[in-house]
Chain A
């Protein structure tokens, strides 16, 4: 693996060319922690859990709004991390790898639950529940809470139509706000590959959105 980003002079052309090399995760501090955990050091695994648990909770809560299930899914995520850690090959950063496991676990949960309700009653505040129950029928029935949940449900249905890799890239880009350069460092892929994958994923989302808009019941969530 190469070192971090640097600039190398090319004598043949007399100019400087910026050459980006891959980040060496294996020989970093985090890499040492992972290697200890891979060899069975429980304290190292505990350190990984405590370091990333808040982030994992945040990712899950963004996808799965039911608070009761967030901790259960988080436990399952770290159990998978424990059993799969020996296969982690340092091609990406640890958090990218954990992020992928977390998102996949959330979508597996949603598939199993087959949640199709628009309003998750357990996640509405008391005021919101009271407002929903006591609201007189009116022309405009949508509330900000309903709209937010509708968008949430909608984007989950769209993301169910793309591959795991595309879904993870889209979420890292759109939800976490990473740039293409950062994604390249985090995933170990080159920037052009990431641009192409994101573009194809977006095309699939557009097609899924067109089908959903024409026939809302057809696109499975």
Chain B
């Protein structure tokens, strides 16, 4: 389709009067004439999409819209916990198990570290070998089980 037709096509299809240039080109160009005719034919069928009569909403229409909005509203995690008891119980059980396992691990580690005062040989092993014998004797003498 040539530009002179394209520029005024919508006006022509709406039924507005067209310029001489537009009309003259349509008369001389068979390709544009055929294309415009096809588009004009199809333009006419759109009238079938106009409502055949006025339909009024029912008096409770807004209330129905509200109900639909509430039904489609996405739920938060907390609502799952409180409104879905089975899911809430599973979450609670999983949390308790996690706490129990973590607690057991921590208690076990603490037991390893709290075995009483260190024994003399441990102290001596931790000390440098260059320390003198007096220090070693003092450590042995002061040890209290």
- List residues of A whose CB falls within 8 A of some B CB: 46, 49-50, 53-54, 57-59, 61-63, 65, 67, 70-71, 74-76, 78-79, 82-83, 148, 151-152, 154-156, 158, 170-171, 173-175, 179-180, 195, 198-199, 202, 205-206, 209
The residue in chain A whose Cβ has the minimal distance to the Cβ of B53 is: A61
Contact for B49 among A62, A76, A79, CB less than 8 A: A62
> A171 to B49, Cβ gap below 8 A?
yes
Contact for B64 among A58, A61, A75, A171, CB less than 8 A: A75
With contacts A76-B68, A82-B69, A199-B1 taken as known, whether A155 is within 8 angstroms of B49 at the C-beta atoms is yes
With contacts A49-B62, A198-B10, A202-B42 taken as known, whether A57 is within 8 angstroms of B55 at the C-beta atoms is yes
> B61 to A62, Cβ gap below 8 A?
no
Tell me the bound Cα distance from A67 to B42 in angstroms: 26
Contact for A155 among B1, B35, B46, CB less than 8 A: B46
Contacts of A57 in B (CB 8 A): 51, 55-57
B7 CB-CB contact with A under 8 Å: yes
B54 CB-CB contact with A under 8 Å: yes
- List residues of B whose CB falls within 8 A of some A CB: 1, 6-7, 9-11, 14, 35, 38-39, 42-43, 45-58, 61-62, 64-65, 68-69, 72
**Between-chain CB contacts (< 8 Å), 25 pairs:** A49-B61, A49-B62, A49-B65, A50-B62, A54-B57, A57-B55, A61-B55, A62-B52, A67-B55, A71-B57, A74-B61, A75-B64, A79-B72, A82-B65, A83-B69, A151-B48, A155-B45, A158-B45, A170-B46, A171-B49, A175-B46, A180-B10, A199-B6, A199-B9, A206-B35
> B68 to A75, Cβ gap below 8 A?
yes
Contacts of A63 in B (CB 8 A): 49
Task: For the complex formed, measure the closest distance between the CB of A35 and the CB atoms of chain B, giving whole angstroms.
Answer: 19
Tell me the bound Cα distance from A78 to B63 in angstroms: 12
Contacts of B55 in A (CB 8 A): 57-58, 61, 67, 70
Contacts of A205 in B (CB 8 A): 39, 42
Residue from A74, A154, A174 having most chain B Cβ neighbours under 10 A: A174
Contact for B57 among A74, A76, A180, CB less than 8 A: A74
Contacts of A61 in B (CB 8 A): 51-53, 55
